[in-house]
Structure 1
């Protein structure tokens, strides 16, 4: 153990208070995102007396780790008391003048803690990170003022992210209002297929993963996880090399192409911000000149249910093939109205993109603050 590290068991104690008098009715669960969430369980006829009470400032975690992939479900309650399933373990810090709950939660937020908890989990049928193992966790415990400084820095970044997200929500609502205004009267609209409005409809492809020369840091390689939570794709988990791009040049997408997830997870819609390629789960549109890619982007975002219906096709796995995707019919305004709409929303989306990029940098900075704890 490092000189400045301490065993967590010296600072925490288990809590087991049951809801025997049914005074607490707010039922929550835990997410692998390390936060409390509203329970989605069917609780009709459930007896809540065996459920555990969690108070503000206390922690709860799921000892069974084999169900969560590489993450452990653990969270600090930052709101009034609630009840959770008795399958969770609840604990608290014995002396908050020595260890801050918020500082400890930052320690738990590190990917290294997830890996540690999985490594230390044991059991033949299901793997468990039990209370004894939790108590054996080692962490740096600097003076309280240093802990508070780290927490304050993290919170300041988090608040900045929230502000940027709120600004983007408002910008998106404004764009949506403009879209609804344009589409409320479709008398002069015409119907065209995706193929008819596109210079190209492209189904992605994955270069050989055994060819190391195809993979590098030059060309974003878009997969479905890269499409979650953003209008624009500005970074990806994986990148191709120039050689990888050249190995399948026809799959290359220019900036402002519209990517639509079409296999398994169907209906995510995003815009490229630079020359990119995608895997085979994504169909992409390169709009013809005179067709507003912002209009088509927003229209497709309204069509999630239709895309899922098309992808069902009697199979257990949703799949909207390239040919089926290209045949989807869209209703478009005349060119004059489309151009007018495009000019109005382009400035909104430019601001959204700037904010998304800043949020991404702030998220990276936030994780840097968390990772620095272990280097103290």
Structure 2
């Protein structure tokens, strides 16, 4: 055991209690976070626990997940929550609990369930309070930067999406010109240059997609570029898998614009075994089976599994235009078009025939040029976040085991580190 660390049990480290029922009907508008097994799940007008606080998923798919709440909150009955930190640093306790694998303490049968009495006897080693503060400070700073990157990217993505919607979905410049609004006023209102405004027509015409700007086209997805349906190399041949070529699957796509990190990679041998499935950087991947409608952009040569159809645009300088177009098509895939049933198994043939709106090439390229700096920042943030998360995950077990020691004065005190929480009623 490291230095003067204390050997104790989890039940002596923190006290836990099952959360409280709160049905949708009982919820009232408010600003109090409701913390459940999967983290924050909406808001309420009453807090039953003081922040900072911690919840641990006690059942279902989020069994054993640990979440932190910096403010007063309502602990939901799908989770256990800490009622007493016994003088320990709450943020340190959060990281400490995250390091414990609760899966082996399942007290249920078919449905996973976490009982506090099953986990209280777990033996743990706990550092002195000053070292807890220092560890929490280091890991917290990494998480703060990750969250900052996430929020920045979310904002930039919303800006890029809003401009795309204004130009290519709502046709704001076209409608403004058609109404006779002066060009100077349109440019000022929509943030356009005169040269950019000149690229938009001044009338709408009928099409199979409804009214579209004159001179624009209705294409099939196959007209955008080459369609590639992914394929999984035989898993019985381990030589096909390694650390060379990203192998994109649906879990790698959730919540992402770029596919920068994959759970699996192929070896060069595996990629060469199906070389026609390789996608260059700037390709657009669309999930079409199981969880349809997810869309990401490749950043390097990659391959996908068979649940994903990808489009390699004929002109890679239009990738961002087609990204949003296919993202909107993803909404149609999920909704099943006018039929109302979700298309959970969309073949490559059906995907390639789906209809999309093609603005003129000049406008597609202009959107790419204008928005490229935003997408570059999103990509940079994504890569930095991956590095920070890897560093945090490497440091966490070393810091919490005492293998890596930190000075007791790392600057946490002058940055408002929370004082140990007192028991909650």
Give the structure-1-normalised TM-score. 0.82
Shift of residue 27, structure 1, vs aligned partner = 7.6
Partner of 2:164: 179
d(CA) in 2 for partners of 1:337, 1:75: 45
Q: Bigger radius of gyration, 1 or 2? A: 2
Given the alignment of the two structures, is residue 140 of structure 1 paired with residue 133 of structure 2, yes or no? no
Shift of residue 108, structure 1, vs aligned partner = 1.6
Return the match for 1:54 from 49, 54, 57. 49
CA gap 1:278/1:158 in 2 versus in 1, 3 angstroms:
same
SS in 1 for 2:222: coil
SS in 2 for 1:68: helix
Contact 1:8 1:134 in 2 (8 A): yes
Given the alignment of the two structures, is residue 154 of structure 1 paired with residue 139 of structure 2, yes or no? yes
Contact 1:13 1:94 in 2 (8 A): yes
Shift of residue 14, structure 1, vs aligned partner = 4.7
Given the alignment of the two structures, is residue 283 of structure 1 paired with residue 278 of structure 2, yes or no? no
SS in 1 for 2:321: helix
Contact 2:14 2:84 in 1 (8 A): yes
Partner of 1:106: 95
TM-superposition CA deviations, 1:258-296 (whole Å, max 9, x none): 000111111111100111100000000011137612111
Partner of 1:47: none
d(CA) in 2 for partners of 1:231, 1:314: 27
SS in 2 for 1:195: helix
d(CA) in 2 for partners of 1:17, 1:347: 45
In the alignment of these two chains, the number of paired residues is 350
Partner of 1:260: 286
Unaligned runs of 5+ in 2: 175-212, 403-425
d(CA) in 2 for partners of 1:331, 1:127: 47
Give the structure-2-normalised TM-score. 0.74
d(CA) in 2 for partners of 1:173, 1:27: 24
TM-superposition CA deviations, 1:167-224 (whole Å, max 9, x none): 22332233224323432132221111111121x1011010100001111111110001
Contact 2:20 2:76 in 1 (8 A): no
Partner of 2:10: 8
Given the alignment of the two structures, is residue 164 of structure 1 paired with residue 155 of structure 2, yes or no? no
RMSD (Å) for aligned C-alpha atoms = 3.1
d(CA) in 1 for partners of 2:322, 2:311: 9
SS in 1 for 2:147: helix
In the TM superposition, 1:32-43 aligns within 5 A as 32=38, 35-38=39-42
Contact 2:52 2:72 in 1 (8 A): no
Unaligned runs of 5+ in 1: 41-50
Contact 2:17 2:83 in 1 (8 A): yes
